[in-house]
Amino acid sequence: MKKIIVTGALGQIGSELIEKLRSEYGAENVLATDIRKPDGATSGPFELLDVTDGKQMLELAKKFGADTIMHMAALLSAKAEENPLFAWNLNMGGLMNALEVAREMDMQFFTPSSIGAFGPSTPKQNTPQDTLQRPTTMYGVNKVAGELLCDYYYHKFGIDTRGVRFPGLISYVAQPGGGTTDYAVDIYYKAIEEGKYTSFIAEGTYMDMMYMPDALQAIVDLMEADPSKLVHRNAFNVTAMSFEPSQIAASIQKCIPDFQMAYEVDPVRQAIANSWPDNIDPSAAIEEWGFKANYDLDAMTEDMLAKLKKKLKAS
């Protein structure tokens, strides 16, 4: 990777990914794009881009001289259920455009999949890398189709496509963006601001999670990995921890003893969560490109609370 274009650069992952990429590859070598303008100054080049406009995407990639495209633009799980047709058009249309740009310019390609690609018939414990995938959400259908499309472009056209199945991602930088796992971000904000939180996910509902620094490092490590060692190439299972709401509350209480948790379950997001695995098996990613996560729940909680206290005080 020498010249990288990132779509959805103002989203939950993209907003932090561009900063990591710029720190490692040079600010001038990472073009951030999104459908809206950033609120303030940027640390490097930025262009407006609607990913459903394939012609504009190709023009930007050619003008920038990109050799890598990281396609992060997507509508997340709960938002996709509110407007499934829009989700299909954005998620799949944008992905097809990005893959076509990669094909025409022979670029390296990354896009994230998700644990949302699994469904209620998938084994819930230690979910294998290769297993039954029959999701019951539009977001999940998009992700499965995306995994297959990336494999197709690799086998049919020789495009160097790569990707991971992310679990819920937790970050102090970007606010929650409409995902089912977002309670695990919002809870830290509320712990500091109000000392209490009402969870829309029921107690006892386990989901895989990862702290954003580990997720960003996983992207870079996979993209820099020796392609000859990649058996699966796309949609690698990655995870750092699996917990349910009362466990994250207990972790917060180690730092904020008076923190209180209540529950007001959202049936839509709970149904989505129930369809996902309790924990997944990342052994293929470990074996094929050396994936590892450095943060467990308590380490993440300590860092999240410290960083958020500074952020919220500054605002």
* Biggest alpha carbon–alpha carbon distance for the chain: 57
pLDDT at 138: 94
User: CA nearest 209: which of 80, 119, 295?
Assistant: 295
- Residue extents of the structural domains in the chain: 4-167, 169-209+240-314
User: CA nearest 152: which of 223, 102, 118, 80?
Assistant: 102
CA dihedral over 43, 17, 241, 198, signed as positive or negative: positive
Query: Do 252 and 301 meet the contact criterion of CB atoms below 8 Å apart?
Result: yes
Q: Which DSSP state fits 121?
A: T
Question: Does the annotation count 139 as an active-site position?
Answer: yes
Please tell me which residue in 139, 153, 154, 172 is annotated as part of the active site: 139
Neighbours of 15 (CB within 10 A): 20
Query: Do 210 and 170 meet the contact criterion of CB atoms below 8 Å apart?
Result: yes
* Helix, strand, or coil (residue 213): helix
CA distance 69 to 221: 15
Strand order in the sheet with 30-34: 46-48, 30-34, 4-7, 68-71, 108-110, 161-162
Specify the fold of 4-167. Rossmann fold (3.40.50)
User: What is the C-alpha end-to-end distance of the chain, expressed in Å?
Assistant: 35
pLDDT at 229: 95
User: CA nearest 268: which of 12, 84, 73, 13?
Assistant: 84
Per-residue pLDDT 10s for the chain (315 aa) are 999 999 999 988 999 999 999 999 999 999 999 999 988 778 899 999 999 999 999 999 999 999 999 999 998 878 888 999 999 999 999 999 999 999 999 999 999 999 999 999 999 999 999 999 999 999 999 999 999 999 999 999 999 999 999 999 999 987 766 678 889 999 999 999 999 999 999 999 999 999 999 999 999 999 999 999 999 989 999 999 999 999 999 999 999 999 999 999 999 899 989 989 999 999 999 999 999 999 999 999 999 999 999 998 865
Residue with token string 């954003």: 212
pLDDT at 195: 96
Q: Which amino acid is at 230?
A: L
Report CA 99 to chain centroid distance, whole Å: 18
Query: Do 104 and 167 meet the contact criterion of CB atoms below 8 Å apart?
Result: no
pLDDT at 178: 67
Burial grade of 77 (CB within 10 A; 0-12, 13-18, 19 or more):
buried
The helix or strand, by DSSP H or E, that contains position 93, with its residue range, turns out to be helix 84-105
Using alpha carbons, list the distances in angstroms from residue 179 to 3, 195, 298: 30, 23, 22
Query: Do 118 and 140 meet the contact criterion of CB atoms below 8 Å apart?
Result: yes
Angle between helical axes of 297-314 and 245-253 (0-180°, round to 10): 70
Angle between helical axes of 183-193 and 245-253 (0-180°, round to 10): 30
Domains 4-167 and 169-209+240-314 share a fold: yes
Cα angle value 38/177/197 (rounded, 5°): 125
pLDDT at 314: 61
Q: Report residue 283 as tokens.
A: 């052994």
CATH number of 169-209+240-314: 3.40.50.720
